[in-house]
Structure 1
Amino acid sequence: MHSDTTTAEEPAAARGAVAIIANRRGDLLLHLRDDLSHIAWPAHWSLLGGGCDPGETPAAAIVRELDEEAGLTVEHLAELFEIRDEHGSGQIISFFSVTWNGDETTLPLSEGVKLQFFASEHLDILTIPPFIRDGINRYLAARPA
């Protein structure tokens, strides 16, 4: 009897991208997600972003998502690192950073409840997905004082 030892190739992990958006004061822009049971992390404060479309890179996805979700066009996005959303979507999420000094209350939010800048010392009281909190903490630890 012949044994086939060839293993099937595993499908590529789902991917996504989020942006850590800071203003000149160092405050971070967070997005309050809708309270809908069918989405990952309902009613949590998160970062703007989303999943990659088929064939789309994380860099292209974050540019598209910022425009779709908040009408934001930003320059000089820096890719930082990747973290897997172990307890939510399971996606590998690419984190990007950018500076934006606008008024978040004027952005045309198309998803979620609200956008708000927060000083880093106030983040501990917010309900934030663990992988997003980890990414923010990594960003803050590496940021020049």
Structure 2
Amino acid sequence: MHSDTATAEKPFTARGAVAVIANRRGELLLHLRDDTDSIAWPAHWSLLGGGADGDESVADAIVRELDEEAGLTVPDLVELFEIHDAHGSGQRITFFAGTWDGDETGLPLSEGVKLQFVAPADLDILTIPPFIRDGINRFLAERPDRPSRTRGRPAAAQ
């Protein structure tokens, strides 16, 4: 298990991107990382993504990473926010969100152990890097399809 107190060796200026991909049932596509010491967060459930190459933008990086890691194209990706992976890669990670309703078991996974859609209620039982968990929780709290307290009330009452 990766220690939360480890010091990142990569420079703070390194940039990366991950994608929170949801299906119409509200499940999130998670990626079980390889169990090898040569990567950040080995044997953890994470989101698809990776580092930006050279002067590549994070928007270009996430499109490339989704294709390289899983042969996946998500046309409706939107940029959400950024979180620093202080205890893993050391990168500033930009979170993107999009939707995809395919069968994850048929994707040609080139890195990691497996891909799986997971219901938000089941996330607590998985080993997820803290910065990824924080990003997923923020996404779930802020997503526009989340029921709000004012939805369904007459306009005058809002």
- TM-score (norm: length of structure 1): 0.91
On the 8 A contact 2:12/2:92 being kept in 1, the answer is: no
Look up the match of 1:5: none
Look up the match of 2:81: 81
Look up the match of 1:103: 103
Tell me which amino acid in the other structure corresponds to 2:39: I
> Equivalent residue of 2:53, what SS?
coil
Q: Tell me the alpha carbon deviations over residues 59-92 of structure 1, each in whole angstroms, 9 at most, x when there is no partner.
A: 0000000000000011011100000001101100
Look up the match of 2:69: 69
> Equivalent residue of 1:21, what SS?
strand
Look up the match of 1:6: none
Q: Tell me the alpha carbon deviations over residues 9-50 of structure 1, each in whole angstroms, 9 at most, x when there is no partner.
A: xx8700000000000010000000000011000000000000
CA gap of 1:95–1:113, structure 2 versus 1, over 3 A, is same
Structure 1 runs, 4 residues or longer, greater than 2 Å off: none
Gaps of 5+ in 2: 1-10, 148-158
Q: Distance in 2 between matches of 1:48 and 1:93?
A: 12
Q: Tell me the alpha carbon deviations over residues 66-122 of structure 1, each in whole angstroms, 9 at most, x when there is no partner.
A: 000000011011100000001101100000000000000000000000000000000
How many pairs does the alignment contain?
A: 135
Q: Distance in 2 between matches of 1:68 and 1:130?
A: 25
Tell me which amino acid in the other structure corresponds to 2:58: P
Q: Distance in 1 between matches of 2:43 and 2:123?
A: 15
- TM-score (norm: length of structure 2): 0.84
CA gap of 1:47–1:12, structure 2 versus 1, over 3 A, is closer
Look up the match of 1:7: none
Look up the match of 1:113: 113
Look up the match of 2:141: 141
Look up the match of 1:34: 34
